[in-house]
Chain A
């Protein structure tokens, strides 16, 4: 095959996959919005109680303290941190977003294996739908906060800081997506992956600093978490957005996320190929 033919074939394949991706995203959005009230309630309120609980925990702490700061945060700063953490966590892909493991157990991927497309497009479509929905939901919540509670509304250090922070969050969300995809692909080898998913969610939640800022944790934990993607998807992104991290640190964060994304993607591909080779398609 000549180079130009290869290129056009690859380009054609890419266009096909992009079209398919759009179609899948539409289908996923349709599926998610079948029940409208539930859709609105879930997409807007997901993750907000955890932030509210954390805010009230810190309120209770600050009410009784003699000093007015915990680590680098006063009460207002910590409330703003927790709000941003909730918004960032909202944007990060949720472990319940894909059900690849169930599809593998039940033999429902069999039909896709004989179709002329990469099955990765299907969960990717779900990711695109999730991300688009959550961006809208997070914007609505931020707008409502700015309108009704402006004194608590966190303001980014600058537009570039905000964009850099958003980039970190979205990259981080992609890492979350890939991590959950990898765990779900283990369904080819293990009977149940649900508990692994839950463990992954707990661990990454803690490492991301969603309920307590990482900067008030012991230094050993801070140093360990710095090399992980949850740190940069929430805590790191917030610190960049609020101007507490420099550009160099931000770029370090981007590099860490890109490395994790690549490594996880290749791990997924490896597991997928091995898994499909031993897949029997029996299911229920």
Chain B
């Protein structure tokens, strides 16, 4: 078994702060005696990410997404357990391994604010030791791809939010990182900019095989980009799988509507029993259409069988938007608590 490119084993991260006591009395008493509060931001988290995966990390505010990214990139140490990148402790990564990863933070610029983007890129190329020719090719290709080629000479502070984020992304990919962490890269961006960035990330993952861990509150980012989902809440991993898996977990039944090529007289007893065996039930019918309610996990099998026995002209399967799935997941967790 190959080593995962990212792994967390019982990772725990705790931040300590103290409680504020109100008023002047509280101010004096808290100077001499404080009540400390431990905030458990990551709680016994286990995770493996293989090379080449494109993973989405979602969760409500305060779930621990950014903290997890910071632990994995070695910005902050874990309080317990171990976080590893390339098989090494993420907090003790050497320069050789740092050269293989990259980080983009949507809420914090990592390029130099008062410099033209191209100057920041040149500095990054020196830090990451990117050969000159390759650097020039990359900047040209990425700038054209992200439609900011004419903005490279402008100071970062003179760019719009979308343009700035595109520059951040170019800066992050100049050195061909093997692992890229993107923490809310589309925050505050318009729809067009988001689409451009999503397409760019998919291409990089497909063509260059970079492993990407993307956090976002915008579930369309995740839906349109990632194949694997990690759902985090209160520092714990609630779900790890793909969208279909999530759907199977959350959605009990799905609606399948068939449009037939010819008028339908009814099912044979045998076929009716077969349909029943999938757990499906017929909920509506017209002469040329049939609507079934089927358990989520049996949908694929039922549809395959129906294609074998019926002449189907058109088919539609009810698809829950990811946002709804996540909401339902959290509701279930809340009910259980």
Contact = CB atoms under 8 A, between A and B. Distances in A.
| A and B directly contacting (CB within 8 A) | yes
A26 B27 contact: yes
B106 to A, nearest CB: 15
Interface residues of A, number: 6
B113 interface: yes
A26 B24 contact: yes
Q: Is the interface of B mostly helix, strand, loop or mixed?
A: helix
Interface in A120-173: none
Contacts of A29: 27
Q: How large is the interface on B (under 10, 10 to 19, 20 to 34, 35 or more residues)?
A: under 10
Most chain B beta-carbon contacts within 10 A, residue among A26, A30, A33, A284: A30
Contacts of B20: 30
Interface in A11-49: 26, 29-30, 33, 36
Contact of A33 (B23, B24, B31, B113): B31
A212 B165 CA distance: 55
Contacts of B24: 26
Interface string B19-34: 0100110010001000
A284 B31 CA distance: 35
B113 to A, nearest CB: 7
Interface string A86-130: 000000000000000000000000000000000000000000000
Contacts of A30: 20, 27
B157 interface: yes
Nearest to A283: B157
A29 B157 CA distance: 34
B27 A284 contact: no
Contact of B113 (A26, A36, A284): A284
A36 B31 contact: yes
Interface in A242-284: 284
Contacts of A284: 113, 157
Nearest to A29: B27
A99 B235 CA distance: 36
A137 to B, nearest CB: 14
Interface string B200-230: 0000000000000000000000000000000
A16 B23 CA distance: 18
Contacts of B31: 33, 36
Contacts of B23: 26
Contacts of B27: 26, 29-30, 33
A150 B91 CA distance: 53
A29 B24 CA distance: 10
A284 B114 CA distance: 10
Contacts of A33: 27, 31
Nearest to A36: B31
A193 B157 CA distance: 20
Contacts of B113: 284
Interface string B26-64: 010001000000000000000000000000000000000
Nearest to B24: A26
A29 B30 CA distance: 12
A30 B29 CA distance: 11
B326 to A, nearest CB: 33
A86 to B, nearest CB: 25
A1 B20 CA distance: 45
B48 to A, nearest CB: 39
Contacts of A36: 31
Interface string B280-317: 00000000000000000000000000000000000000
A26 B24 CA distance: 7
B115 to A, nearest CB: 14
A77 to B, nearest CB: 38
Most chain A beta-carbon contacts within 10 A, residue among B20, B23, B31: B31
B316 to A, nearest CB: 49
A26 B26 CA distance: 11
10 contacts: A26-B23, A26-B24, A26-B27, A29-B27, A30-B20, A30-B27, A33-B27, A33-B31, A284-B113, A284-B157
Interface of B: 20, 23-24, 27, 31, 113, 157
The 9 A-B residue pairs with the shortest CB-CB distance in the complex, in nearest-first order: A33-B31, A30-B27, A26-B24, A36-B31, A29-B27, A26-B27, A284-B157, A284-B113, A33-B27
Given A26-B23, A26-B27, A33-B27, 8 more contacts: A26-B24, A29-B27, A30-B20, A30-B27, A33-B31, A36-B31, A284-B113, A284-B157
